[in-house]
Structure formats: structure tokens, C-alpha cells
């Protein structure tokens, strides 16, 4: 994240001269690199505003749209850092960009409601119980498994490599069906929350409540909170 902060600082004048619009009436949106012509920014922002409660974005001061080197380094296309959302301008369609924005808002929500989400340890307990079940399944199929890695809730590069290279996300989707909200939510506890947040606001809440009841209850509580 240091690289992206340095990049933004070095190009601050250029970006601030190209402010595009505002988000939630107060968050400045800056365009570093243009979006494809078939993806209109304002309707996307208005859609997100209609879905996400205002109190969820109080930790966000700005949104930057463009291509950043860190995206290539970490093989990502969006990030939340130091009160700002960084969203790639390389999007397939409107839905793709909405997903990215909502997912990064989830990480801002983590920061604001950390105690409510993680403080009692119940979400981590639910996540690790699912990881343990996945471990047993993969072990039965003779995939290379390391129990200690499966029981680590933090992001681990070796574990990530197991998921997307040695197993592959397509096969992983089969193993995680009805166990995790999505195959990517296996990656870490934070991504488990982030994907759950996406499902809560963009997909099937009832299904999330069945698959991940603790996560669902956490999201319900913070959704209903007011300042």
C-alpha cells in the first residue's frame, strides 16, 4: 500500500484537477484514467448510493479511478487505503465496477466497525470451522494440505497459491458450494467478510443467512446502526 500512497502523492495535482463528481454528496471522485465509453460513472455511483446505507461510508474521503501499479503487483483491481477507494478503470461492465466499489466499501466498514465485527471472535470461529471442513474434503481428494495454513485466518501467500494454482478457483467452487459465500471468500477472514458484504447488498441475503449465519447477523446489526 505504500507504493500506491506514494503514487497518489506524486500525481496529486494532476488528479485533483480532474475531479469528476461526488459520491454520497461529500466524497470526491477523481479520474486518473478514463473508463470505457460503455461504462457511465454517475449511474454506477448513484446505484451504489441507493444500496449502501450512508453510515457505511463515513471512513471514506475520496475515490480514485484509474490504473495503478499496485494492481499489477498484487493481481487486484481495487483497494481501500487511508480513507480512499482505488478502483480500476478497466471494467467489463457496470455490474463489475459496482461489485468492486461495494467490496472495497466493505473493507472501510471493517475499519469503522472492527469491534462489532471481530471483537467477540464469533466470526473468526465460523470462518475457521468452514476452513477445517474444507481441509478435510481436500485431504480426502489427495490435494496438498497444511492444517496450520488452513487454521490461519490472515492472508497467506502460500495458502492463496494453493487455492488459485494447485486447486484452481473453478474446482474450488465445487468444493466450497454451500460452505462459503464464494470460492474467493476462502482466502482470509477479511475476504470472508468482504464477500459476505457483497452478497448481503448485491445478491441473496436469505442464502447468505443459511450458509454463513454469524456473518449474516453481523451484517444485519451494522446495517441497522445509525450515528
Which residue ranges make up each domain of the chain? 2-112, 117-224
Query: 175-200 pLDDT, tens per residue?
Result: 999 999 999 999 999 999 999 999 99
CA end-to-end span of the chain: 29
Whether pLDDT at 17 is above 50: no
Angle at 106 between CA 95 and CA 11, to 5 degrees: 80
- Between these two residues, 70 and 19, which has the higher pLDDT value? 70
CB 187 within 8 A of CB 155: yes
Whether pLDDT at 172 is above 50: yes
pTM of the shown model: 0.89
Question: Crossing angle of helices 189-202/213-224, nearest 10°?
Answer: 60
Collect all residues with Cβ–Cβ distance below 8 Å to 165 and sequence separation of at least 6.
none
Whether pLDDT at 45 is above 70: yes
User: Mean pLDDT throughout 8-18?
Assistant: 47
Pairing of β 78-81 and β 27-31: unpaired
Name the band, by pLDDT with cuts 50, 70 and 90, for residue 164.
confident
Cell 452478497 identifies what position? 199
Question: Which residues are bridge partners to 81 per DSSP?
Answer: 84
The alpha-helical segments, DSSP class H, found in the chain are: 2-10, 12-16, 41-51, 69-74, 94-112, 114-118, 122-140, 147-150, 157-161, 169-176, 189-202, 205-211, 213-224
Amino acid at each position: 500500500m505504500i507504493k500506491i500512497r506514494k503514487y497518489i502523492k506524486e500525481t496529486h495535482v494532476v488528479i485533483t484537477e480532474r475531479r469528476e463528481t461526488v459520491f454520497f454528496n461529500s466524497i470526491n471522485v477523481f479520474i486518473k484514467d478514463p473508463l470505457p465509453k460503455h461504462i457511465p460513472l454517475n449511474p454506477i455511483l448513484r446505484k451504489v448510493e441507493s444500496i449502501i446505507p450512508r453510515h457505511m461510508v463515513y471512513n471514506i474521503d475520496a475515490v480514485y479511478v484509474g490504473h495503478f501499479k499496485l494492481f499489477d503487483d498484487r493481481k487486484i483491481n481495487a483497494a481501500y487505503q487511508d480513507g480512499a477507494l482505488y478502483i480500476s478503470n478497466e471494467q467489463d461492465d457496470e455490474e463489475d465496477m459496482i461489485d468492486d466499489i461495494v467490496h472495497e466499501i466493505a473493507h472501510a466498514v471493517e475499519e469503522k466497525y472492527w469491534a462489532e465485527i471481530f471483537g467477540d471472535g464469533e466470526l473468526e470461529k465460523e470462518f475457521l470451522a468452514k476452513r477445517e471442513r474444507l481441509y478435510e474434503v481436500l485431504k480426502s481428494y489427495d490435494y496438498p494440505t497444511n492444517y496450520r495454513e488452513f487454521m490461519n485466518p490472515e492472508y497467506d501467500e502460500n495458502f492463496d497459491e494453493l487455492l488459485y494454482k494447485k486447486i484452481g478457483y473453478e474446482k474450488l467452487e465445487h468444493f466450497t458450494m454451500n460452505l462459503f459465500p464464494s470460492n474467493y471468500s476462502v482466502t482470509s477472514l477479511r475476504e470472508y467478510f468482504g464477500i459476505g458484504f457483497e452478497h448481503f447488498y448485491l445478491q441473496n441475503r436469505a442464502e447468505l443467512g443459511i450458509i454463513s449465519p454469524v456473518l449474516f447477523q453481523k451484517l444485519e446489526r451494522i446495517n441497522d446502526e445509525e450515528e
